[in-house]
Amino acid sequence: MHVLVVGVSHHTARLETRERLALDNEAASALLRELVAGGAVAEGVALSTCNRTELYLAAADLDVAERAAVAVLARRAGLAVAALHALVYTHRDGAAARHLFAVASGLDSMILGEAQILGQLRRAAALAAEAGVSGPVVERLVREAMGAGGRVRERTGIGRASVSVSSAAVELARGVLGDLVNRRVLVVGAGKSGEVTAKALSAHGVKVVVLSRCPKKAAGIAAATDGVGGGLEDLARELARADVVLSATSAPQPVITRDDLVRAFAAREGRPLLAIDLAVPRDIDPAARDLDGLTLFDLDDVQARADENLEARRAHLGAASAMAADEADHFEHWRAGLGAKQTVSELRQRADAIVAGLLDDNASRWEGMTEADRDRVAMLARAVASRLLDEPTRRLKASAAASDDAALDAARALFGLDASASAQRALAG
């Protein structure tokens, strides 16, 4: 059984194409069932995120499996097979395992070292199992890749420093104020950036106040983060009370003016204020930077921190990549060993069947032999067959350890095992 990955990602396809290939749960299950039912694939898992759609497949014939997988993906995207071929990548056996282990370790992500992919892989594996299209090979592949991804993050620094803008902003705030748990944090803006920022704060145990021109939307974000929501009419009061304000609106002019901050400081009784402006155009009037007690960071400051963190992660890329590849090689040795075990087992079954057949054919000629004599002849025949198979068995296992599928394929062809297996399957059917 071979392993194949067929996919597209942010490395090979534009967002428009990735959207056309995106798979929800129902589509992923249907696509995998189609491949398995068609006989081209024995097992499969579909991984679909905003940055990639990948099929991890186990199949006896990789060429057949690849053609079938590309065809169903092309139909899904409404593209000609030839057009999709220019965008998809394929990896086989050891390369397929190394690719997934790198993906699980966050080494192939748009944001280096991100950990969200582990949860996405877990859900993809569960979905394949529910759809009845999983199996021992892809289950072990995904399970070991997820384990390796966790160990890579634990033993290297590939995922330690925050590199998203929102997380870097929270890091800046913690760098200035220390623990934020007992601080009053104000988030201005209920768009995507404000929502992500509120969630990043919530992950650090902070209860936030979210204000927006749309109080209902602010309340929804606040509720999801165990905070409080409201409208911009509450801005003056919250500026006077907050320890930190993070602003991320899409307003065309400053939402927080210098005069707003002057009035806020008059009511703050000398307490300092940390302000982080994540908006473009800026939400907080840069002219307020000279106010006593105000520490103001803008998006360039936050991005600089994110870039520093990304460089810190990149410093661990070599070690993380080597570790992921080494763990992928362990899986590949196991997968290749399956072929050797199956081939050796079928070869010995074939030899046992030949011995049994010869003994049965000659049973009538041994009328003068005692039962003990017959047993000794049978034992001798089986011993000869076993001795003849000892060296081929060792060499087949060595070929498997070296991931030499060609040797296994040659052995199966030489001894006619594929034909035998096909005949047995036909009889079983």
Instruction: List active site positions.
Output: 50
Give me the DSSP letters along 88-107: -EEEETHHHHHHHHHHHTTS
CA 286 to chain centroid: 41
Structure tokens of 169? 């902003």
Name the nearest CA neighbour of 276 among 263, 289, 260: 289
Question: Could you give the CA distance from residue 12 to residue 89 in angstroms, rounded to a whole number?
Answer: 8
Residue indicated by tokens 């003849």: 388
Are the C-beta atoms of 417 and 348 separated by less than 8 Å?
no
Question: Could you give the CA distance from residue 200 to residue 195 in angstroms, rounded to a whole number?
Answer: 9
DSSP-based three-state secondary structure for 42 = coil
Question: Could you give the CA distance from residue 278 to residue 303 in angstroms, rounded to a whole number?
Answer: 9
Q: Are strands 294-297 and 273-277 parallel, antiparallel or unpaired?
A: parallel
Q: Which residues is 277 bridged to in the sheet? A: 247
DSSP-based three-state secondary structure for 222 = helix
DSSP-based three-state secondary structure for 21 = helix
